Structure 1
Amino acid sequence: MKVKAFDHIVFNVRDVEASAAWYARVLGMEREDSRADDGSTRTSMTFGNNKINLRPISASQQAWFTARTPAAGSVDLCFLTDTPPHAVADHFRALGIAIEQGPIIKKGARGPIRSVYVRDPDGSLIEVSSYA
């Protein structure tokens, strides 16, 4: 057996509304709300063929089948874009988002990438990168 891709990932967040708004405003993702089997609302952020589920850290372990010790702000994730890194940095600055690092060249899965690093509302490290 060999995996080929992610289907979706789950971010544990303190405030679903704040996180959904940030990912939509800052990274251009689309919000999608759905009803779970237990009647609760689940919020996802979609982009391309990908999806991030936003799990409130206050949710019970029974309501969400999840990691043993879920924690908000513990994600380090790299998103790819076709936007040049200087334009990514300009976009973040225009929105008042503090740049932690970059643009800087890093090593991606397929070779060198040009990256800009910011933090989401929970403090997770978000890298936005492009291949040359």
Structure 2
Amino acid sequence: MRFTVDRLDHIVITCREVEKTASWYQRVLGMEREEYGRNRRCALKFGGQKINLRPFGVEGWTTADDSMPGSQDLCFVTAVESDDVIDHLTKCGITITEGPVERLGALGPTISVYCHDPDGNLIEIASYQA
């Protein structure tokens, strides 16, 4: 039987300090924090997706062979214009590493702004062009 994938449900980010990383995503990207499971794991929810935060070096998680903090390149989509994204990041004290620049997202052209999270993951914040 052949199948196709519908959508991305969640991703797992390996992080050095769960508290620091969770707080950054809440403060900077407006995600909602959730604890789940008997071990009180931490997740961040936004839209219909979530990010599970995996503490580096902790046993009991099925993960990639070389899962390391800071090895992700992630793109998040917003309806906010790139100038407003830059203004918000600046007010949060976040260093912008690139942007605004034109990119091509899954649904067409975007204007993107780049920064890094506390673990060094590259974060792209993209706005689709009208």
TM-score using structure 2 length: 0.95
The residue correspondences of 1:3-22 to structure 2 (distance < 5 A) are 3-22=5-24
Shift of 1:94: 0.7
Partner in structure 1 of residue 66 of structure 2: 69
Which ranges in structure 2 are unaligned for 5 or more consecutive residues? none
Partner in structure 1 of residue 30 of structure 2: 28
Number of equivalenced pairs: 127
Moved over 6 A (4+): none
How big is each residue's C-alpha offset from its partner over 1:41-84, in whole Å with a ceiling of 9 and x where there is no partner? 20000001110000001211xx1011111100000010000000
**Which SS does the other structure have where 1:26 is aligned?**
helix
Partner in structure 1 of residue 92 of structure 2: 95
**Which SS does the other structure have where 2:75 is aligned?**
strand
C-alpha separation in 2, matches of 1:92 and 1:79: 14
Partner in structure 2 of residue 53 of structure 1: 52
Correspondent of 2:120 among 102, 112, 123: 123
C-alpha separation in 2, matches of 1:43 and 1:2: 29
**Which SS does the other structure have where 1:2 is aligned?**
coil
Shift of 1:34: 1.4
C-alpha separation in 1, matches of 2:96 and 2:10: 26
**Which SS does the other structure have where 2:68 is aligned?**
coil
C-alpha separation in 2, matches of 1:127 and 1:89: 12
**Which SS does the other structure have where 2:41 is aligned?**
strand
C-alpha separation in 2, matches of 1:76 and 1:55: 16
CA RMSD of aligned residues (A): 0.7
